[in-house]
Structure 1
Amino acid sequence: MSPDQGMMIHISVTQLLDCLADLMTGQRKAVSFTGADTSFELRFRSTKKGVKVAARSGPVALVSRTELARTVLSAAERHAASHLSSLPRGEGVADDYSAALKRFRPHAGKSPAGSATGRQMDLMRQLSDGAIRPEVFAKEWLGARRKALADGERMGEGLEHHLNQVFYALDGYPIDPALREEGDTTEAELLAAVEQALSLLSD
């Protein structure tokens, strides 16, 4: 894939996210998406039974709004994790893509209030703000993670990836200070991992 082709994909995904956002909010009952610099087209129509997806060749699928939002968001976040970092910070295309992701995430029903995943995010913010001790954070965050897994909470791949990075940092962080050894994750390294995850999730 050439740099120009890659840029067109970034632009197309941004346009798709914004296009579907209008459908998800109910501002429009039907939307049409055409990829940048291509003839590829998809049409989406909201019905009582869900969202009808069609291409120029005919019907493609009938899915619920939530399923459509989560599928699109997951693919967009996976693409961002693999390719967006290659663009310079401050690059307009990258900024537009990140902003579109941020706007679209609520439509996928991610981290609802009261969920265990939402609790993990709250604890991360508390640690970043200095409102909670690292050992308390570690114990409560791991407990929330276990609950999220037990409850089968679903999330986009981007969010899952960043939460996994925090988990990997905690895996090397003994909660009991008496058990800590050289080479273990330090409090500073744990905080850095949490703040990096929060920063990337807010992009």
Structure 2
Amino acid sequence: MTMLTFKIYRNDNEESATGFDLGDVEFSFDGKIVSSRGHPQLSHMIYVSLVDLIDGLLQLKGGKKRYEYVGADSSFNLHFNKNKSGVDILHEKRKYGPISLEKLLEAVDSGIDSFLADPRNELSTDSSIYDDFNSSRKALKNSLS
């Protein structure tokens, strides 16, 4: 089975995060990296995109077979296809995986936890995306327990 790590980068250097900050995501599959990082045209609204990513992956857990992640306000995309051997991730005609759905969810959860360990990446309660982001995070954590 494939080893997976997930990282998030916020491109805005401001001390406090807003719900619409641009950033990048990076998946590493046994050392093979799929990332929007280093390509300014692929950076996307990171918090909005994370909500979509979590919700889409949880739909796979709920029985859906396919999910397409498209970074908000970007052309960066990944296709997640669930099958008997796990989840395959496709990017630019390359296939990564399979990885178990549980390991994929754990990697995303761990990546978000690492990202939020930096206090500058925490959303303030008055952010327009705060409730959606934290609701999705809670649903992800609940799916893992």
TM-score for both structures, normalised by structure 2: 0.66
Measure how far apart 1:106 and its partner are.
2.5
Q: How does 1:114-133 map onto structure 2 within 5 Å?
A: none
Measure how far apart 1:89 and its partner are.
1.4
- Aligned residue pairs: how many? 107
Q: 1:99 aligns with which of 119, 126, 135?
A: 135
Q: How does 1:160-179 map onto structure 2 within 5 Å?
A: none
2:92 aligned partner, one-letter code: R
Partner of 1:9: 46
Distance in structure 1 (CA, Å) of the matches to 2:143 and 2:83 = 17
Measure how far apart 1:50 and its partner are.
0.7
Measure how far apart 1:57 and its partner are.
3.3
Task: Give ranges in structure 2 of 5+ residues lacking alignment.
Answer: 1-10, 15-20, 24-43
Partner of 1:22: 59
Q: 2:99 aligns with which of 63, 82, 97?
A: 63
Distance in structure 2 (CA, Å) of the matches to 1:94 and 1:15 = 14
Whether contact under 8 Å (1:84, 1:94) holds in the other structure is no
Counterpart secondary structure, 2:126: coil
Whether contact under 8 Å (1:33, 1:43) holds in the other structure is yes
Partner of 1:39: 75
Measure how far apart 1:58 and its partner are.
1.4
The one-character-per-residue Cα deviations of 1:154-174 (angstroms, maximum 9, x if unpaired) are xxxxxxxxxxxxxxxxxxxxx
1:67 aligned partner, one-letter code: K
Distance in structure 2 (CA, Å) of the matches to 1:30 and 1:72 = 17
Partner of 2:86: 50
Q: Max radius of gyration: which structure?
A: 1
Distance in structure 2 (CA, Å) of the matches to 1:46 and 1:90 = 36
- Higher RCO, 1 vs 2 (CA within 8 Å, ≥6 residues apart): 2
Q: How does 1:186-201 map onto structure 2 within 5 Å?
A: none
Distance in structure 2 (CA, Å) of the matches to 1:93 and 1:84 = 13
Q: 1:75 aligns with which of 100, 111, 129?
A: 111
Partner of 2:7: none
Higher strand share goes to which structure?
A: 2
Structure 1 runs, 4 residues or longer, greater than 4 Å off = none
Counterpart secondary structure, 2:88: strand
Identity %: 28
Measure how far apart 1:11 and its partner are.
1.1
Higher helix share goes to which structure?
A: 1
Whether contact under 8 Å (1:13, 1:97) holds in the other structure is yes
Whether contact under 8 Å (1:30, 1:44) holds in the other structure is yes
Whether contact under 8 Å (1:66, 1:107) holds in the other structure is no
